[in-house]
Structure 1
């Protein structure tokens, strides 16, 4: 992979084994603590999916949430609020 600011994400959807591959730019912020980043990503993805967003938008939103969460020490303190994730938050 040439570009270091993005990484592919793959989601296998349902029993049809459909694959969706997207890449999303990470936020260029310092990493303080990665604890809870996966939880933030999963919660953001589920939130966007429940709001009816397409899968690529769900992935991008999850990346934003995880990127934001690593900027603060601790899992609870690092959980981003919707207002911190941009105007297109679900």
Structure 2
């Protein structure tokens, strides 16, 4: 395994009080998640944080947690050279 420092992939914004609703916030988070997934992230690698502040503002951050190792397979991916088998067919 090769240790590397992955470039962070993050989409974030802060919205002032009165400029958002629960519906628009949900839509924004969905849009940010879709953009990160379109970049190649797998669902378990996407981290979403929504911070609601006392002044009524909200901070939204969606990031791609790539892990610590460049050649580390994802938990649901086969190891390099590992064969996968599908369901048996008749």
TM-score, scaled relative to structure 1: 0.32
TM-score, scaled relative to structure 2: 0.32
Higher relative contact order (Cα pairs below 8 Å, separated by 6+ residues):
2
Rg (Cα) greater in structure: 2
